[in-house]
Amino acid sequence: MKWVNSVEKVYNYLTTLLDPSSTVVVGVSGGPDSMALLYILVTLAKKKSFSLICCHVNHNVRKESEKEKVFLENWCNEHGVLFESMKIEHYSDDNFHNEARNIRYRYFEEIVTKYQANYLMTAHHGDDLMETILMRLVRGSTLRGYAGFKREVDKGSYFLVRPLISVSKQELLDYDEKMGIPYVIDSSNHKDKYTRNRYRKYVLPFLKQENPNVNEKFLKFSLMLEEYADFIDRQVDRVFTSVYHDGYLDIPVFLTLDSLLQSRVLYRILEEVYQDDLNSVNDRHIQLFNQLIFSRKKNAYIMLPNHVKIVKVYNQVKVVLDGEEINHYEMELIDYAVLPNGKHLEVMRHDISENGNDVCRLNSCDVVLPLYVRTRRYGDKMAVKGLSGTKKLKDIFINSKVPMEERELWPVVVDATGKIVWVPGIKKSKINKQKNESYDIIIKYY
């Protein structure tokens, strides 16, 4: 069977990598992929005599989660494997998967430190790599981001290793069946509301039908992009410290660079800020960064995901992390804006079907361009659609039951004269147009 050769390559790779002095922490959910990796490592540990710790995170979002933790702990006890686990008690981020991933890896690193491990291993496989590459191609990413993820990542004090990167999901299922490896099934993996699941259910089967070995092609593509990214990064290394130092980007020096290097310098800065969380960075953010640099304004800033603020002051640009509390802002609304409350405003290029308070339609004859998005100010009033006269923004927030802590950062869209044209997600002004009226500006809040 095809899985024999693939799994044998994993054994050979790990046999070469590990020795009796190695300490391995492996992240295990209890699913078929991670149980296959755990089984392989347990088998090798008996031969190579390295230390092995199974690390489990209970995401606490399904009723089966506690039973899955008990199942895995019992399996580890039966096979003499050290077991560590934690339970996520609550979530605060709008993006569940992003927050869960961050919590999970922070915990993994705690266990790596506790046992002074050389390696942290996860069960990401060939199908996972395909999904990641496809998702980033669709939403936009960096050159290295388009490569998906690597087999080995040097984390300084340890290596993050994904031994199954060359193995397909089906090969792992076949291996589990052949070796009698028990596992649990996460029912949320089949829900269409999650983006990755839609790729897994609808896109990958089509690609595999076209080429049963397509995961090998994606791995080759990934390795090629990594090679190209390494080459370009070497060119960036030569100029980076001259253009970006002490947290500041030197605009005059930046403007002397080739456009490709300019783009890569900006990516490098954001990669340093977001580190492994490249899902937070896409082409739109680079475009906003670039627009800020080339803007004629001497003092301006933009907001990026996770409360990252890019500030321009004359000939310099500084990245301010979320350690600085943001309680007010004002920025020009050109094409796209990431807001401090985690939401987005986008000027749509084509009309859309939505017609609620999350969409604003304007006729440019009724406003003075450009438009701006800012926080509320004392005495703000808006001529509300459907009402006579004006209404205080404070009363609009109260009537809409917006919590006090959210009002300070809530976006307010105004024209160049300061006239409020829209409070996204809450109320529209009188100048907002219906779909059967004449308009040439469409803005979406999401």
Residue type, 113: T
Contacts of 307 (CB under 8 A, 6+ apart): 321, 322, 326, 340
Whole-angstrom CA distances from 263 to 240, 243, 259, 317 are 12, 13, 6, 15
> What's the confidence (pLDDT) of residue 323?
47
| H or E stretch covering 49 | none
Residue 129 DSSP symbol: H
> What's the confidence (pLDDT) of residue 240?
94
441-445 β-sheet, strand order = 336-338, 344-347, 441-445, 359-362
**What tokens were used for 140?**
């936009």
323 burial level (CB within 10 Å; 0-12, 13-18, 19+): exposed
> What's the confidence (pLDDT) of residue 405?
74
User: DSSP string spanning 221-287?
Assistant: HHHHHHHHHHHHHHHHHHHHHHHEETTEEEHHHHTTS-HHHHHHHHHHHHHHHHTT-GGG--HHHHH
Q: What gap in Å lies between CA 275 and CA 160, rounded to an integer?
A: 14
Cβ distance 312 to 297 under 8 Å?
Answer: yes
Cβ distance 60 to 87 under 8 Å?
Answer: yes
The dihedral formed by the CA atoms of 86, 91, 97 and 98, expressed in degrees to the nearest 10:
-100
Helices (H), 282-412: 283-294, 393-399, 404-407
Contacts of 337 (CB under 8 A, 6+ apart): 288, 302, 303, 331, 344, 345, 346, 373
Q: Give the predicted TM-score (pTM) of the model.
A: 0.67
Q: How far is CA 440 from the centre of its chain?
A: 32
Q: What gap in Å lies between CA 88 and CA 12, rounded to an integer?
A: 36
* Ordered mean pLDDT values, 10 residues apiece, the chain (446 residues): 82 96 97 97 97 94 88 97 92 66 91 97 97 91 88 95 97 96 85 87 95 96 95 92 87 94 90 70 84 86 83 85 62 83 87 91 94 89 88 91 83 94 95 93 95
Residue 145 DSSP symbol: H
> What's the confidence (pLDDT) of residue 338?
81
**What tokens were used for 138?**
């669709």
User: DSSP string spanning 57-112?
Assistant: EE---STTHHHHHHHHHHHHHHTT-EEEEEE------S-HHHHHHHHHHHHHHHHH
Contacts of 311 (CB under 8 A, 6+ apart): 300, 301, 317, 318, 319, 320
